[in-house]
Amino acid sequence: MRKKLIKNMEDLSEIANLHIKEKKLPYLQPVEKDFYKRLVNRYKKLREMFNRSLKDGNLDNIFRIKTEMDNFYNIILDIYKIRLEKIIKKAIKIVEDEDSIPEGLAEEEEILIKELVELLRKNKEMIFSVEESVEKFEDKETIAETSKREELGEEIKEEKREEEKEVEYIVVRTLNDLPEIVGIDGMTYGPFKKNDIALLPKENANALKNKKLVEIV
């Protein structure tokens, strides 16, 4: 019997329930093919609501929508990471035990697991097709190469940790009319009229403050 899938992206409780199941259960929960596309669309809607609230200047709405936006983003990011780990483990199991690709994957996940399985199978064939003994893989050159890969892996992990650092935001009031600006979070803000209230990344806000274009609220 096919399990119930998330139909309503507006209902955060459904997404939160999926999040809990992904954390507690060892197997992948079924989702729709367009699962991630709909998550992104929901986040864009929240961003549009947030931008409108900035223009309205209602601080209560600004902080409420910003909190909802942050909570939604953190949940879907964690769901992605948990499912990614399960997909990698499943790909290994498929190669080792000739298991089948599971149903209920998002379109992007189906592509990923197929590519992983193909890559792992080619890698396994390459390693075990040689006639030399296992000792061949324990020579200095192989150990050095493994060490380089591990160092590279650590560098990539460190870069990802830097990318995942949260951006701090602060509320400002514009002192002049300002054109659109691109924040350090990659989002576009503005244009602004004099005395508009805006929530900007702290680094951008401080830069504008130093130019006496905004003041901190």
Rounded to two decimals, what is the model's pTM?
Answer: 0.55
Q: Are 185 and 200 in contact (CB under 8 A)?
A: no
Name which CATH class applies to 169-216: alpha beta
Environment class of residue 65 by beta-carbon count within 10 Å: exposed (0-12), middle (13-18) or buried (19+)?
Answer: buried
pLDDT at 46 over 60: yes
Q: In whole numbers, what is the pLDDT of the chain averaged over residues?
A: 82
Report the distance separating Cα 192 and Cα 178, nearest Å.
5
**Is the domain defined by 12-129 classed in CATH 1.10.10.10?**
no
pLDDT tens for each residue of 61-94 = 888 888 888 889 999 999 999 999 999 999 999 9
pLDDT at 29 over 90: yes
pLDDT tens for each residue of 137-193 = 555 556 666 666 677 666 655 555 555 457 788 888 899 898 988 888 888 888 888
Residue 152, pLDDT score: 63
Residue 5, pLDDT score: 53
